[in-house]
Structure 1
Amino acid sequence: MHTRERILRAAAEMIAEDVTTTLSVRAVAARAGVSTGSLRFHFPTQRALQDEVLTRIYQHFMPDEPIHDSSRPPRERLVDCVRQVLAVAGVGDEARKAWGTVHENFIAPEPSEKVRSAYLAQERVSAGRVEYWLGVLADEGALPREDFGPKVRFLLTVLNGLSVQRALPSGESVLQAETEILYTAVDAVLRPGTP
């Protein structure tokens, strides 16, 4: 295995053990069995390492992004991308467990720099993914090329809300209600002139 891959694997293992772990150069290098200089050669900053390993984890869980299937309308592809993210969290017990983990790691503890840094790294990768989807659609002319910041935050807020809804007890079909909400949110994002 190449050095870069050993480093990424070691960092992913550390995150799997503790999602709030600080991927320090020394700790990751020691775990990967490489020198700190070698790690710095491949990842000049701790943030670059953190972002790359979280991106790899994301790609592992969602290897096929529907955004590239240009035979389908942009609206359908964007809804499918968001739905794919939601699918990872599951429904019912699976979703409750996922949100329990989020609560345990990011909400319950004091907001230390370690907790804040770990959460912000995950948020950065999620925002980058949504921005990528919007960029693909902008390149195709489905929406104007602009600062996607507000649209990204809006879609992430919708995702968070729907994932919480999946964890809560419900008397109706969560997936049916979720589909209506997803189309409403995507329509708002794709509508010209909306921030």
Structure 2
Amino acid sequence: MHTREKILKAAAEMIAEDVTTTLSVRAVAARAGVSTGSLRFHFPTQRALQDEVLTRIYEHFIPGDPIRDPSRPARDRLVECLRQVLAPAGVGTEARQAWATMYQNFIAAEPTEQVRAAYQAFDRTSARRVEYWLSVLADEGVLRAGDRTLQARFLMTVLNGLALERALPSGHSVLHAETETLYTAVDAVLEPGAP
């Protein structure tokens, strides 16, 4: 196995064992049995390593991911991907039940180390998925320059607000308003005029 593949395999195993793990250069190099210099040769930054690992993981588990269809406009693809995050929450009764579960598990519960770790694992997994989508768009040159982690956090905050809105009583079309909000959020992270 080539060094690059050994590094990627070690990093993927670390994520599989603990989704909250941070892929530090030293830890991944030690796990792969390579020097940190060798790791840096193949992946000059921690971000480059993380992006490649996430790309491989998501290509394996979600082979038809809409973010990878360059025949469609980037903003439409990103909105569709963000909708995938919202879909499991449902609308109305389903959304209220999802929020009730979230409240019971993470807000009403005593914030023990176990509760914190469980929430952080959930949050980190969601953020990594959004960061992956943004990395694909960055590679295409349509993502605004800036801190990708912050951009992902912004989009996650929008998604959390929309998920909550799905649970609240409304007199208007939630899905119509949601679509407008998603496009506004996506336009904030894409280059102006991005297709």
Q: Report the equivalent of 1:175.
A: 175
TM-score normalised by structure 1 residue count: 0.67
Q: Gaps spanning 5+ residues in structure 1: where?
A: 1-40
Q: Report the equivalent of 1:97.
A: 97
Offset at residue 62 of structure 1 (A)? 6.8
Q: Report the equivalent of 1:164.
A: 164
Q: Report the equivalent of 1:188.
A: 188
Higher mean C-alpha deviation, range 87-96 or range 61-70: 61-70
Q: Which runs of 4+ in 1 moved over 6 A?
A: none
Q: Report the equivalent of 1:50.
A: 18
Q: Report the equivalent of 2:69.
A: 69
Letter in 2 for 1:50: D
State the distance in 1 between where 2:108 and 2:189 align: 33
Question: Are the structure 2 counterparts of residues 62 and 92 from structure 1 closer, same or farther at C-alpha, using a change threshold of 3 Å?
Answer: farther
State the distance in 1 between where 2:172 and 2:147 align: 37
Offset at residue 144 of structure 1 (A)? 4.8
State the distance in 2 between where 1:189 and 1:44 align: 31
Question: Are the structure 2 counterparts of residues 86 and 63 from structure 1 closer, same or farther at C-alpha, using a change threshold of 3 Å?
Answer: farther
| RMSD, matched Cα | 2.8
Question: Are the structure 2 counterparts of residues 115 and 44 from structure 1 closer, same or farther at C-alpha, using a change threshold of 3 Å?
Answer: same
Q: Report the equivalent of 1:126.
A: 126
Pair 1:148 & 2:116 matched: no
Provide the identity percentage.
63
2:19 alignment partner, SS class: helix
Higher mean C-alpha deviation, range 121-130 or range 137-146: 137-146
Q: Gaps spanning 5+ residues in structure 2: where?
A: 1-9, 21-53
Aligned length: 146
State the distance in 1 between where 2:119 and 2:84 align: 21
TM-score normalised by structure 2 residue count: 0.67
* Conserved 8 A contact 1:62-1:84: no
* Conserved 8 A contact 1:135-1:145: no
